Chains A and B, each alone.
Chain A
Amino acid sequence: MMMTNPNDDMLEDLFADARGLTPAPSDDLMARVIADADAAQPRATAASAPQPGLWARMMDAIGGWPAVSGLAAATIAGVWVGVAPPSSVEDLTATIVGDEVSISLFATDLVFDAGVLSDG
Chain B
Amino acid sequence: MNASPDPYAGAPDAALLVAYASGDGQAARILTMRLLPRVLAQATRMLGSQTEAEDVAQDAMMRLWKIAPDWRQDEAQVSTWLYRVVANLCTDRLRKRRGVMSLDQVAEPLDAAPSVAAQMQTQARMTALSDALAQLPDRQAQAVSLRHLEGLTNPEIAQIMDISVRSVESLTARGKRALADLMAGRKAELGYDDDEPE
Q: Are the chains A and B members of one assembly?
A: yes
- What string of 1s and 0s marks CB contacts (under 8 Å) between A1-36 and chain B? 000011110110111011101111110011011101
Interface residue count for B (Cβ, 8 Å)? Answer: 46
B72 touches A (CB below 8 Å): no
Partner pick for B45 among A18, A26, A44, CB 8 A cutoff = A18
Partner pick for B57 among A6, A8, A15, A33, CB 8 A cutoff = A33
CB nearest to B144 among chain A residues = A15
Interface residue count for A (Cβ, 8 Å)? Answer: 34
Segment touching A, from B3-11, B160-168, B177-185:
B177-185
Q: Are B25 and A30 in contact (CB under 8 A)?
A: no
B79 touches A (CB below 8 Å): no
Q: Are B45 and A21 in contact (CB under 8 A)?
A: yes
Residues of A near B62 (CB, < 8 A) are: 33, 36, 40
Q: Are A43 and B41 in contact (CB under 8 A)?
A: no
Residues of B near A17 (CB, < 8 A) are: 122, 125-126
With contact pairs A23-B50, A43-B22 given, residues A13 and B32 touching in the complex (Cβ less than 8 Å): no
Residues of B with Cβ closer than 8 Å to A? 20-25, 28-29, 31-33, 36-37, 40-41, 44-45, 50, 53-54, 57-58, 61-62, 65-66, 68-69, 122, 125-126, 128-129, 148-151, 176, 179-181, 183-184, 187, 190, 192
Residues of A with Cβ closer than 8 Å to B? 5-8, 10-11, 13-15, 17-19, 21-26, 29-30, 32-34, 36-38, 40-41, 43-48
Other contacts beyond A18-B149, A25-B40: 19, CB < 8 A: A6-B187, A8-B180, A10-B187, A17-B122, A18-B126, A18-B129, A19-B150, A21-B126, A22-B41, A23-B50, A23-B53, A29-B58, A30-B32, A32-B58, A33-B61, A37-B61, A40-B62, A40-B65, A44-B24
